[in-house]
Structure 1
Amino acid sequence: MRADKVGERDSHHSDDHSGDHSGERDSLAQVLGGWDASVDAALPPVAFVAGWLLTGNSVGWGVAAALAVGVLVAAFRWSRGARPRAVLLGMLGVAVAAVVVLRTGRAADFFLVQLATNAASGLAWIVSIVVRRPLLGIVVGAALRQRGRWRHDADLLRAYGLASWVWVGQYAVRVSVFGALYAADEVLALAAARAALTWPLVAACVAVSAWVLRRSLPAGHPGFRRPRVEAS
Structure 2
Amino acid sequence: MRADEVDERDTHHSDEPDSLAGVLGGWEASVDAALPPVAFVAGWLVAGNSVGWGVAAALAVGVAVAAYRWSRGARPRAVLLGLLGVAVAAVVVLRTGRAADFFLVQLATNAASGLAWIVSIVVRRPLLGIVVGTALRQRGRWRRDPDLLRAYGAASWVWVGQYAVRVGVFGALYAADAVVALAAARAALTWPLVAACVAVSAWVLRRSLPAGHPGFRRPRVEDS
Per-residue deviation at 1:34? 3.2
The share of aligned pairs that are identical, in percent, is: 91
Deviations 1:98-118 (A, max 9, x none): 000000000000000000000
Which consecutive aligned stretches of 4+ in structure 1 deviate over 4 angstroms post-superposition? 1-16
Verify the 8 A CA contact 1:15 1:219 in the aligned structure 2: no
RMSD: 4.1
Per-residue deviation at 1:30? 1.4
Verify the 8 A CA contact 1:150 1:227 in the aligned structure 2: yes
Going from structure 1 to structure 2, the CA distance change for 1:11 and 1:222 (only over 3 Å counts) comes to farther
Going from structure 1 to structure 2, the CA distance change for 1:186 and 1:3 (only over 3 Å counts) comes to farther
**Separation of aligned partners in 2, 1:13 and 1:188:** 43
Match of 1:33 in 2: 25
Match of 2:44 in 1: 52
- The unaligned stretches of length 5 or more in structure 2 are none
Partner of 1:132: helix, strand, or coil?
coil
Deviations 1:13-46 (A, max 9, x none): 9999xxxxxxxxx211111123011000000000
**Separation of aligned partners in 1, 2:87 and 2:133:** 31
Going from structure 1 to structure 2, the CA distance change for 1:73 and 1:5 (only over 3 Å counts) comes to farther
Verify the 8 A CA contact 2:15 2:215 in the aligned structure 1: no
**Separation of aligned partners in 2, 1:98 and 1:91:** 11
Verify the 8 A CA contact 2:117 2:159 in the aligned structure 1: yes
Per-residue deviation at 1:7? 12
Verify the 8 A CA contact 1:43 1:69 in the aligned structure 2: yes
**Separation of aligned partners in 2, 1:89 and 1:82:** 12
Per-residue deviation at 1:2? 25
Report the count of equivalent residues.
223
**Separation of aligned partners in 1, 2:173 and 2:84:** 24
- The unaligned stretches of length 5 or more in structure 1 are 17-25
TM-score by length of 1: 0.89
Going from structure 1 to structure 2, the CA distance change for 1:2 and 1:83 (only over 3 Å counts) comes to farther
Partner of 1:3: helix, strand, or coil?
coil
Verify the 8 A CA contact 1:7 1:222 in the aligned structure 2: no
- What is the aligned counterpart of 2:213 among 221, 224, 228? 221
